[in-house]
Structure 1
């Protein structure tokens, strides 16, 4: 689960950075609105006030004021965007509430005194790093955000509590996760290009068409000796590269911008080779490997610990995500979307 290890400190530093730039936070809402429920999780309310005080909401509203001005609430595009993003923030808050309730059941709630000490230490670090230990500047920033020191500490403590609860739950759920030597070896053998001394690279060109039948015809023309660049200029559907003869330039093996199926097909090619049709989410490609540079693979002994940690983290993340989804499915959750804005 993406938020299971979110650090509250980073969010607050972002909020303070915005305040230094002169951003103002949303005006205080009437008490009745603040106390209205935006969601109820197993009988526990999440209020509009809780949602609006969430650091992610506060940052969202500051950005809206920057982009649309102080009257952003009168702009339909702004309102639509804010509502959509607040719904996502609320979903995260609902997840956190479910986890908190389960943590209480499992006796995994953090020690309040230790939390308070941690909070004071982190706030001291923020004062030092962001304000040069100036209490006056720190208080000015709080006031600009609509906080007193007391209300800020209350919110910060709540964020730290969520963070530690999530970590405690994660640790409890994943304490028996183990990765075997066979799993490590299998992963290493299947992903050797990820463990080279330097990142492997390849210079590629491609011809993109819509159907496999078209791709087969293109390959047949190339097999008969037609020039790759000439054919690309004639038939390729990739407008960004067709005028360059389909040239994509040099691509690193770990470049995540390219379709995974396309990359898998390209990596198999020897220098100078042309592929059979390769399907991707964009259509069918004929790929030419103009050049490639592959480096020696590190010995398994050098990357074993790295692989072990990665596989453990992947297993833990998957396990926690599955368990939290089970808890949410079993929970009684209602949302009052009309109260979000």
Structure 2
């Protein structure tokens, strides 16, 4: 019984770890996009020390070189370690012919999306980055437990007793704009019909201070969500993706909601998740933290301390 309780807790912490992945990748996304916007001339100017001004504060000039040096000083070692660990995992996985399926990556990504409120990730590139990190994390876990064998009957018993852990409800990624009167809400709908941007309108006119600065983004909501009115999900179920609702009466005010994405619910079968359960059970028996550094010697990691620190 205690082991099952620990395994349930382990599953919860796995989800929390997934949320941390998103936050950790924010810097990577910013840096990646920054460099992707450079053309050959900008890169040459930076290498040659030429100033590329990105901001001015009074008489003080801030260049792209200043910005990148600041980023390197604050996060350079951390980012380098992440890059090294990712490559270590890839090489060790190739050596031992360990793989993870796209279905496993997609399942973890879906769990993260439905459980993380107000995700900052909206672009395709950011989703790719998160999935890349998920894949690396799953590969590392598989490498650590690759020699562990657990009877299938034990795995299936755990699955049958914990099916709720492997069920995802219908989920709706919503944003909203809160207005004081129906007339104001109808005006917002008219502006949307005329081509106004929902996010911009939410920042300008929504009276919900908690979400206005984020363009009204509420993240993914399910029928278990109790923070927002049930009417949101009722209306969302009628909408097409990338469309908005008519005014909805809520607590004496009016709301207009926008459906970014709908994700159909699913209950994963035992065959779908038995590898995940095996990893969880095996990892539960391990001491210490999960870290790719245990493979550094095997791969042959060498640090150039003059540039890495």
Q: TM-score, normalised by structure 1?
A: 0.31
Q: TM-score, normalised by structure 2?
A: 0.33
Structure with higher Rg: it is 1
